[in-house]
A = this chain, B = another copy of it.
């Protein structure tokens, strides 16, 4: 099947500080959730707030960038692709979790904004190169095997 496209663009805020982990094969990986605002004005003209949460997965050099320079509350742009992985819960039931495998992460707010964690105080280098991540295996990420959404 040659004709295919799987592309996601998000702008939103990190729900927590990204924490660096490693896959069983030693690849750096970072997971965090990202909030997008889906608020709208209803028929009565009243503003309704609604937040959508997305699970972001970042590998390799960009994972290290995230761990070093991003933190909870930061506004970022994410380009990536959708991937749904299968896992087993404690009852042995198959579950599915959909994640965005990021190919590009870009901080949008000024450095030092929204930061409570010490890792965000260092000067942030530029991080704009797109990287071909190749096939990724989030399921082999240490400590993620039983993670619910």
Does A144 interact with chain B (Cβ within 8 Å)? no
Query: Which of B1, B2, B11, B98 interacts with A5 by CB under 8 Å?
Result: B11
Which residues of chain B are within 8 angstroms of A115 by Cβ–Cβ distance?
none
Could you tell me the distance in whole angstroms from the C-beta of A78 to the nearest C-beta in chain B? 9
Copies, count: 4
Please name all residues of chain B whose beta carbon is closer than 8 Å to the beta carbon of A52 when the two chains form the complex.
6, 81-84
A11 in contact with B108 (CB, 8 Å): yes
Most B CB contacts (10 A, CB to CB) among A95, A98, A148 go to A98
Chain B min CB distance to A66 (Å): 14
Contact flag A48-B135 (CB < 8 Å), given A5-B10, A77-B11, A110-B109: yes
